[in-house]
Amino acid sequence: MSADYALEGKRVWVAGQRGMVGSALMRRLAGEDCTLIPEDRDRLDLTRQAEVEAFVAETRPQAVILAAAKVGGIHANSTQPAAFLYDNLMIEANIIHACAGVGVEKLLFLGSSCIYPREAPQPISEDSLLTGPLEPTNEWYAIAKIAGIKLCQAYRRQHGHDYISAMPTNMYGPGDNFHPENSHVPAALMRRFHEAKEAGAPEVAVWGTGRPLREFLYVDDLADACVLLLRRYSHERTVNVGTGEDIPISAFAEAVRDTVGFTGRLVYDTTRPDGTPRKVLDVSTLAGLGWRAPTSLHDGLTQYYRWFLDHIADLRER
C-alpha cells in the first residue's frame, strides 16, 4: 500500500484551487519543491470535456489533486439534486479521463465521507462503502463521489494508472462558503453567531435537534494529509481523512459560539433535518502511515474566525 513518489521538480495541478480545500492545498504545496499549475476558472469550465482536455494537453501536469466539486449543505443538496449529480459526475470524469490521456503520473481524487451508508457501523471503515443505503439528504452528491472513486479504481485496473482516492470528513477553515442557505454547518453557525453578536440578538437558531454526532477537520490538516498520500500511498482502496473523534452538533455549536463571543441562547429548529445520526471515520489506515490531525478544534476555530473577520467585507456581498 505504501509507495515512494517524489513531488520534487514535478508539475502539479490542483483542480479546484480557488475553493476552500483547493486553496489549502495550494498553501501546503507552496512549501514543496514543485511547480504549481495556475487555473483560470473564468476560462476553464471543468464540466466541459473539450476545455478540460485542452487545458491538460497544454499544461501537462505530472501530479493532480482533484479537489474541484459542486458542494453545499443539506439545503443545497435537497433543492439542487440534478446539479449536484450532473456537475460532479462531469467534473471528475473529464479530469480523470484527460489525465489518463496525457500520462499523468499520480492522481489523488478527493471524495467525501457522505459516500458511506447512513447506518454504517461507527467509526466508519473504508470497507463500508456500498454496503447499505445512503443518507437521503445528500445521496446525489454521494453517488457522484462514489462514481469518482470507482473511476479511479477502473483506470488503475484497466490501464495501470497510479490513481488513488481519499475521503475527508466534515471540513472547516479559511476559504469556506458562508452563504446563509447553502453553506455547511461550521460556516452557517459562524456567520449566524457573528451577525447575532453584532445585532445584539438574544438567540441564534441551530438547524435540527443538535443531537447528531459529527467529526470536524481543519482544512489545512487535510492538505497536509493529501501531500503525504501523494508521496506514500498507492492502492485502489480509498483512505479516510479525519480526526477520528466526534462531538454532538450542540457541543460544536457551543464551541463556535464561544469562539465568536456571542452570549445569547441557542434555539434548536427541529423542523430542519438532522441528517445522518452519527458520522465519524475510522482513520487507522492513515494513522498507519504515520499521520494524525495536528490542529485542535479550539485552535482551528480561532484561526477560522480570524480569517472570517479579515474577509467579512467580501462575505457580506454573498
Residues pairing with 307 in the sheet: none
Q: Which residue reads 454573498 in cell numbers?
A: 318
Cβ pair 253, 266 in contact under 8 A: yes
Beta bridge partners of 167: 240
Q: Is 13 labeled as ligand-binding?
A: no
The reply, when asked if residue 20 is annotated as ligand binding, is yes
Tell me whether residue 18 is annotated as binding. yes
112 assigned to a ligand binding site: yes
Catalytic option among 5, 116, 141, 163: 141
User: Does 234 show up as a binding residue in the annotation?
Assistant: no
Please tell me whether 16 is known to bind a ligand: yes
The answer to whether 118 is annotated as binding is: no
What is the rounded (10 degree) CA torsion for 242, 287, 135, 188? 0
The Cα 213–Cα 217 span in angstroms is: 14
Q: What are phi and psi of 66, to 5 degrees?
A: -90, 90
Let me know if 155 is a catalytic residue.
Answer: no
Helices (H) and strands (E) in the chain, counts: 11, 13
Tell me whether residue 213 is annotated as binding. no
Q: Is 106 annotated as a binding residue?
A: no
End-to-end CA distance of the chain: 43
Q: How far is CA 175 from the centre of its chain?
A: 12
113 is in an annotated binding site: yes
Annotated binding site: 16-22, 110-113, 145, 184, 192, 207, 214, 274
Residues making up the binding site for NADP(+): 16-22, 110-113, 145, 184
Annotated binding site for substrate: 192, 207, 214, 274
Catalytic residues: 141
